[in-house]
């Protein structure tokens, strides 16, 4: 009986050690995948001043590019929300785009820390457009043209 109990104890110790190694392997694989995704991801540096908008994009796959547009060249801005996932894990993300002609010169999501400030800055500087985007809660006394999730397109 003592031999059997000793064997059980040694098995439990063995399983615990194997579990630790398996857990560490899963953590290491996850960290490697996260690092690879971050390494391949595109980064953007957006500069917004009185004359216009400059977007410097850098990607390990596509290289780097710089797009500059003056405010009078902006022909449209758009806010929309996109829901991804299944019924149990749906996530809704806000998107904001700035277009000049047929080209989208800026596309940011609400994952960006400066999302709200960027929308406000662009709308403040594109006074030639007959509309602007404001947070929906701030559109109470405005003529609302369209509502898109957290934002409303209002007449200037």
Same domain membership, residue 63 and residue 12: no
C-alpha 44: how far from its chain's center? Answer: 11
**Whether residues 56 and 104 fall in one domain:** yes
Looking at the structure, do residues 35 and 24 belong to the same domain, yes or no? yes
Q: How confident is the model at residue 17 (pLDDT cuts 50, 70, 90)?
A: confident
Judge if 35 and 56 occupy the same domain.
no
Residue 119 scores a pLDDT above 60: yes
- 49 is in which domain, residue-wise? 43-155
Kindly state whether residues 36 and 71 are assigned to the same domain: no
Q: For residue range 85-96, list pLDDT tens digits in order.
A: 887 888 889 999
Element (H, E) at 151: strand 151-155
Are residues 37 and 62 both part of a single domain?
A: no
What is the percent of the chain with per-residue pLDDT over 90, rounded to a whole number? Answer: 51
Domain count for the chain, please give it: 2
- 84 plus 34 within the same structural domain: no
The answer to whether residues 94 and 123 belong to one domain is yes
87 or 38, which is more confident? 87
Looking at the predicted structure, is the pLDDT value of residue 23 above 70? Answer: no
Q: Is the pTM of this model over 0.85?
A: no
| The two three-digit tokens of residue 102, written as one number | 């047929």
The verdict on 37 and 50 lying in the same domain is: no
Question: What's the pLDDT at 5?
Answer: 59
Residue 117: in which H helix or E strand, if any? helix 115-125
Provide CB contacts within 8 A for 105, sequence distance 6+: 53, 55, 67, 69, 74, 98, 99
Model pLDDT for residues 120-156, shown as the tens digit of each residue: 999 999 999 999 999 999 988 889 999 988 999 999 9
């Amino acid at each position: 009986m003592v031999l059997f109990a000793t064997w059980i104890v040694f098995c439990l110790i063995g399983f615990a050690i194997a579990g630790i190694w398996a857990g560490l392997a899963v953590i290491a694989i996850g960290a490697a995948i996260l690092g690879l995704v971050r390494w391949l991801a595109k980064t953007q540096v957006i500069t917004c001043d009185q004359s216009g908008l400059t977007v410097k994009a850098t990607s390990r796959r596509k290289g780097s590019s710089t797009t500059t547009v003056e405010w009078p060249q902006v022909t449209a801005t758009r806010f929309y929300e996109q829901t991804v996932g299944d019924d149990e894990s749906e996530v809704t993300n806000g998107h904001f785009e700035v277009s000049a002609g047929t080209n989208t010169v800026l596309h940011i999501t609400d994952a960006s820390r400066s999302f709200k400030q960027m929308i406000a800055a662009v709308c403040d500087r594109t006074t030639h457009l007959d509309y602007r985007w404001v947070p929906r809660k701030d559109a109470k006394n405005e003529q609302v043209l369209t509502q898109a999730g957290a934002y409303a397109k209002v007449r200037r």
